[in-house]
Amino acid sequence: MKQPIRVGILGLGRIGKMHAANILTMKEFEVVCGADPFLTEETEREMQELGIPKCTKDPEDVFADPTIDAVIICSITETHSDFIIRAAKAGKDIFCEKPIDHDVGRILDALRAVKQADVILQVGFMHRFDRHHSALQHKIADGTIGDIEVLKITSRDPAPPSMDYIRSSGGIYVDFMIHDFDMARFLTGSEVTEVFATGTSVCDPEIAACGDVGSGHAVLRFANGAIGILETSRRSSFGHDQRIEALGSKGCVMNDNEYENNVRFFTQDGFHGAKVPYHFPERYKDAYFVELRDFAQAVREHTAPPVTGFDGLQAVLIAEAAARSAKSGKLEAVETIEV
């Protein structure tokens, strides 16, 4: 039997706790340590109860431990590039939550460090690993709908995160819509060349007071001639709304939402069905496992991971151009940068 990959988890907030709980059940990994400078007694107790043997307030304990093979970066976005560089220098493979960074210069430094150290870097775009989205991607890639002409993605959260989170998020395009920018590249198999974006905070004026928008809308032009129409919102009263439709020269392929069950019933009041999952942890529950299982395979075989640093960079470049467009009111060009 292969030895488990020994990991350290950096950042024990919302997503760090979720990954920790998942990883502890996976035979591919052994969790050695969790690190968070703002570790509370409550989180430390929670992690101990889950089965993490050690928690520390000093991330350096993870980088300096020669028995740790890989890091799972789940801390606030501003820390990601620095942690990638430190992990690469320590020869550790890296799974990093999205986005890699808000700053393209820092992302380039991180990707150069990864290349120089020849370690694996996978970015946490879990939408790609959802079985419905993945089946839809196969239908496009195998030519079933012919050449893709239009891609529509709707992605809405049930309720906004805390205003503290919004303030430090970097804005809706780089924090939230980035998943859809990545899916747009993944589904069309083409780079985005131009973007037009606009947004509104009509769903929650408090978001406007933080200098952000509560819903973002983007039209993408792809190098292969296709057009993308993306719509996202921080509030959707009925749950996590995740739908995709692609029109091609030979047909159309679409994903409706996943429902809590498939039962539909008719009464005098009309047609009824079950609810959609409330939020991303429930909707992408399985995808979070699949992305980490694939990361483990890339680490063991030392092969390119399914979502690379280049993918992480391109998604940020689209998000940056979208944010620029929302300010300028104009179509903005999107660069492609190879490291």
Ligand X SMILES: NC(=O)c1ccc[n+]([C@@H]2O[C@H](COP(=O)([O-])OP(=O)(O)OC[C@H]3O[C@@H](n4cnc5c(N)ncnc54)[C@H](O)[C@@H]3O)[C@@H](O)[C@H]2O)c1
Rounded-to-integer distance, Cα 248 and Cα 151, Å: 9
CB 289, CB 28: distance < 8 Å? no
CB of 12 to ligand X, least distance (A): 5
CB closer to ligand X out of 129 and 222? 129
Query: Which candidate, 242, 232, 243, places its Cα nearest to that of 280?
Result: 242
CB of 59 to ligand X, least distance (A): 5
Q: Is 102 helix (H, G, I), strand (E, B) or coil?
A: coil
CB closer to ligand X out of 169 and 193? 169
CB closer to ligand X out of 18 and 150? 18
Residues that bind ligand X (CB under 6 A): 10-16, 35-38, 59, 74-77, 79, 97-98, 124, 126, 175, 280
CB of 125 to ligand X, least distance (A): 7
Residue at shortest CB range from ligand X:
13
Eight-state DSSP code of residue 97: P
Rounded-to-integer distance, Cα 295 and Cα 307, Å: 9
CB of 99 to ligand X, least distance (A): 6
Query: Which candidate, 310, 339, 313, 304, places its Cα nearest to that of 119?
Result: 304
CB of 204 to ligand X, least distance (A): 18
Rounded-to-integer distance, Cα 210 and Cα 163, Å: 7
β-bridge mates for residue 31, sequence order: 7
CB of 291 to ligand X, least distance (A): 9
CA 273-276-279 angle, to 5 degrees, is 165
CB closer to ligand X out of 36 and 311? 36
CB of 13 to ligand X, least distance (A): 2
CB proximity list for 197: less than 8 A, separation 6 or greater: 173, 216, 217, 218, 219, 322, 323, 325, 326
Query: Which candidate, 6, 10, 63, places its Cα nearest to that of 30?
Result: 6
CB closer to ligand X out of 132 and 219? 132
CB closer to ligand X out of 59 and 214? 59
CB of 105 to ligand X, least distance (A): 18
Q: Per the structure block, which two tokens stand in for 25?
A: 């059940």
Q: Per the structure block, which two tokens stand in for 93?
A: 């493979």
Query: Which candidate, 44, 79, 39, 43, places its Cα nearest to that of 63?
Result: 79
CB closer to ligand X out of 167 and 302? 167
Per-residue CA distances from 141 to 80, 81, 146, 225 (Å): 32, 32, 9, 16
Rounded-to-integer distance, Cα 65 and Cα 67, Å: 5
CB closer to ligand X out of 228 and 312? 312
